[in-house]
Amino acid sequence: MFWKFDLNNTSHIDQLLDREGVTLRELMEEEDVLQECKAQNRKLLLFLSKDHCMQELVTLITEEPPADLEEKTRFKFPNIACELLTSDVALINDKLGGDESLLEKLYHFLEQEPPLNPLLASFFSKTIGNLIARKTDQVISFLRKKHNFISLVLNHIDASAMMDLLLRLISCVEPAPLRMEVLNWLNEERLIQRLTELMHTGRDEERQSNASQTLCDIIRLSRDQANQLSEVTEPDPLLAVLESQENVAELLKNMFEGERTEASVVNGTQVLLTLLESRRSGHACPSYTVNSSILCAIEPHLKDFQQLLLNPPTRSAILTTVGVLEQPLGSARLHVARLVASLLQTCDLSICQEICRLNTMDLLLDLFFKYSWNNFLHLQVELCVASILNHSAHADLQNPGLQNHEERPLFQHCRLVQRILDAWEENDKNQAEGGRRRGNMGHLTRIANTVVQNLEKGLAHSQMNDLIKELPEDCRGRWESFVGETLRETNRRNTVDLVSTHNLHSSSEDDDMESPFPNDLSIQQAFSDYQIQQMTANFVDQFGFNDEEFSEHDENINAAFDRIAEINFNIDANAAAFEACCKERIQQFDDCEEEEDIWDEKEINYATQIKSRSRYSTWMICLRKYNLLFGVSLSSDSSPKSAVRNGGRGRGSASEEEDVEEEASPQQPASAQAQSECYNITHNSESFR
């Protein structure tokens, strides 16, 4: 079978290319032009690689289209032109990367006055980035000849596409020797220092934000590539400058010089947090060790961050879900809290001592209880407390004086225990009056649990217990009661069973619930005995055993079944009962001599079927009575005839049949008569024909 449609139609683009005077715009109007280009359509690629077509494509992505065009179609052709130039086709890449006039036309885009059109800037960045990855030598050589390249890129750093271009220069250059040359070139151009200068408070926020993000990405990319390229012994020059004490000090100077704005504080702190990040190249590898020069540069400016907690940049009141917040916490103070938490995690003695001297933790705890609905702040304060308490695990080995300088102020001057108790009691009182539970209670519970765990299991638990003993007697009693009752009950409620112990079912199953089996032991024992009577030692996998018979100390597990052969059948009594049962009036089934054609149309009489079922049921009742009288075990897959022919006993072993014949020989006539009558019933039944 063949399709009636012709699936091998020639593309309409081929028909356009065969026509004389076809223009690039006409081809770009076709919907499948990009697909044909990526499919290596030879005619199309030869047309696109012509000089005038390449010049027009570059012009489309570097010059803004007329403003009078409709907005829907204004950037249609620039977008298609960018996709064609970056379609990763070797012929186009060779033409664009090997023609210096085209590169000059592209570079001319950077020489425009800011601000750049963000869409055209993204087209330019994507095109240059593709050339850096595919035609690395030619493009890098061309850019290095331009002495003002870095200056022009930074001049347009307010466009995020320029940030992407810088990152492509750092990360997409291969092989490793060429990449190191590019890094040295960028370092000679003082890229890091220029980006740091853009973090000054006098710069506009967009430039500060993009410069900060660029520095953070350079730090992460440089560290990741240093892990992956372990064979390179030469250090990354850009990362070395970023981690130097001089550059960090310059960054902090730009943050706090002049009027302190929230943008400069936030963007600068993000760079510091990235420098303080722990690096893990694998799950089993140790954390990245923070360069001490970074900490040395930050330490003198800790007092400036302290002042930010006391006097943050002004912010207007905001409306929240819990009411109007007259003085919001602000992003600046939140980033300071994050910085303090990161500094405490470094376990540097000098830094921790300065934080304790400035009483920074006391201010953070004040903010913790003041802004009870700011969970971002609560998390950072919790990390700070956990870092201080957990330092005792290695303080004795690394910094013997660290523990005393951190924990004692936390318990004595900051009054951590008293604040936990007061806040908990105030929350309980508020809830008792119908108020809502405070938003910081979850983090407060975790802080309390951290204190308790270090008191009980920490390596310095003896020193911490001494600090608890130094508390006022009433406070110590409240703490012990809180830990033993309130906190324990809270932890119990917060403990969630990951796996439910109850089977869940829908409400619709309630009506179909099965009643439990009766617990009458006599009924269970009678059923077990009945099953055992029909089993032999060869069928140990069947039902009917008592649990005691499976004990390991039993020497002979089959002893209970071997006694079955000793059972004597009282056939005289059973035969009389069976004959009386067979004499009952049983309506015979109709016997049809000829076989019915199943394809003949006939009228279905449901009454006849019901009547036949009734006859079949009567016959089965008779057969069951026979089984009960003679102990016949009729399996579900055996026919009634085979059951009767087995002598009404259901025994599978020839030796066992001989034993029974010897003992039951006087009863043979009665048994034969029963077999004959049952066989007549079976023979006349249409259901077993």
The Cα–Cα gap between 165 and 616 comes to 89
pLDDT band (50, 70, 90) for residue 462: confident
Largest CA distance in the chain: 124
Q: How many CA atoms lie within 13 A of 218 on its CB side?
A: 29
Beta strand spans in 190-313 (E):
none
| CA-based nearest residue to 30, from 131, 19, 50, 119 | 19
Cα torsion 153, 155, 156, 157 to 10°: value is 80
Q: Does some domain include residue 345?
A: no
Q: Mean pLDDT across the stretch 129-158?
A: 93
The pairing of beta strand 323-325 with beta strand 318-320 = antiparallel
Picking from 245, 244, 260, the residue whose alpha carbon sits closest to that of residue 306 is 260
Identify the domain boundary among 262, 279, 296: 279
Check if the beta carbon of residue 295 is closer than 8 Å to that of residue 355.
no
Residues 6+ apart with CB under 8 A from 506: none
The mean-pLDDT minimum among 78-92, 115-129, 231-245, 284-298 falls in 284-298
The token duo for 393 is 């695990």
Whether 584 is in a domain gets the answer: yes
Q: Which of 23-37, 308-322, 498-512, 640-654 has the lowest mean pLDDT?
A: 640-654
Residue 486 domain flag = yes
The alpha helices in 257-329, defined as continuous H runs, are 262-275, 292-298, 302-310
Judge whether residue 72 has pLDDT over 60: yes
> Within this chain, do residues 580 and 651 fall inside the same structural domain, yes or no?
yes
Listed residues 474, 493, 512: the one ending a domain:
493
- Mean pLDDT of all residues in the chain? 78
Same domain, 577 and 551: no
Task: Give the contacts of 345 (CB within 8 A, at least 6 positions apart).
Answer: 278, 383, 387
Q: Residue 43 sits in which domain range? A: 11-149
Within this chain, do residues 429 and 538 fall inside the same structural domain, yes or no? no
| Same domain flag for 486 and 610 | no
Q: Which of 493, 511, 535 is the last residue of a domain?
A: 493
Question: Same domain for 138 and 195?
Answer: no
Residue 321: band (very low, low, confident or very high) from pLDDT cuts 50, 70, 90: confident
Going by pLDDT thresholds of 50, 70 and 90, the confidence category of residue 500 is low
Q: Cα 395–397–398 angle (5° rounding)?
A: 70
* Nearest-angstrom CA–CA distance, 300 and 481: 43
379 domain residue, yes or no: no
Nearest-CA neighbor of 367 among 321, 409, 306, 451?
A: 306
Q: Is 486 exposed, middle or buried (0-12, 13-18, 19+ CB in 10 A)?
A: middle
- The three-class DSSP label of residue 629 is helix
SS3 assignment, position 338? helix
**What sign does the dihedral 680-682-684-689 (CA atoms) show?**
negative
pLDDT band at 467 (very low <50, low <70, confident <90, very high): confident
pLDDT band at 110 (very low <50, low <70, confident <90, very high): very high
> When comparing pLDDT for 89 and 498, which is higher?
89
Decide which of 394 and 481 is more confident.
481
Rounded to an integer, what distance in angstroms lies between the CA atom of residue 109 and that of residue 83?
18
**More confidently predicted of 384 and 667:** 384
Q: Are the CB atoms for 205 and 259 separated by under 8 Å?
A: no
Per the structure, the count of domains in the chain is 5
Has residue 320 been placed in a domain?
A: no
pLDDT at residue 602 greater than cutoff 50: yes
% the chain with pLDDT above 70? 66
Query: What does the alpha-carbon distance between residue 371 and residue 376 come to, in Å, rounded to a whole number?
Result: 10
Query: What is the percentage of the chain residues whose pLDDT exceeds 90?
Result: 46
Secondary-structure percent of the chain, ordered helix, strand, coil, rounded to 5: 65, 0, 35
Q: Is the peptide bond before 115 cis (omega within 30 degrees of 0)?
A: yes
265-317 pLDDT per residue, tens: 999 999 999 999 875 444 344 456 788 899 999 999 999 999 999 999 888 88
Q: Are residues 668 and 653 in the same domain?
A: yes
Q: What are the E-state strand segments in 161-297? A: none
646 C-beta neighbours (distance < 10 Å), count = 17
User: What phi and psi, each to the nearest 5 degrees, are found at residue 325?
Assistant: -105, 105
Residue 568's pLDDT is 54
Report how far residue 648's alpha carbon sits from residue 660's, in angstroms, rounded to the nearest whole number.
12
Q: Give me the amino acid identity at 466.
A: D
End-to-end CA distance of the chain: 49
pLDDT value at residue 657: 42
| Residue 53 sits in the same domain as residue 16 | yes
- How far is it, in rounded angstroms, from Cα 334 to Cα 376? 8
Domain membership of residue 94 (yes or no) is yes
pLDDT (0 to 100) of residue 184: 94
Per-residue model confidence as pLDDT tens digits over 443-456: 999 999 999 998 88
Neighbours of 652 (CB within 10 A): 12
* Cβ pair 24, 80 in contact under 8 A: no
pTM: 0.69
- Give me the pLDDT at residue 470, please: 87
One-letter identity of residue 366: D
Q: Are residues 54 and 137 in the same domain?
A: yes
Judgement on whether residues 558 and 576 belong to the same structural domain of the protein? no
Residue 461 or residue 261, greater confidence: 261
Say yes or no: 139 and 62 in one domain. Answer: yes
- C-alpha to C-alpha distance for 589 and 619, rounded to whole angstroms: 10
Same domain, 24 and 142: yes
Query: Does residue 318 lie within any of the structural domains?
Result: no
What single letter denotes the amino acid at residue 410? L
* Statement to judge: residues 113 and 193 lie in one domain: no
Residue 133 sits in a domain of what CATH number? 1.25.40
Residue 370 in any domain: the answer is no
Q: Which of 36-50, 312-326, 577-591 has the highest mean pLDDT?
A: 36-50
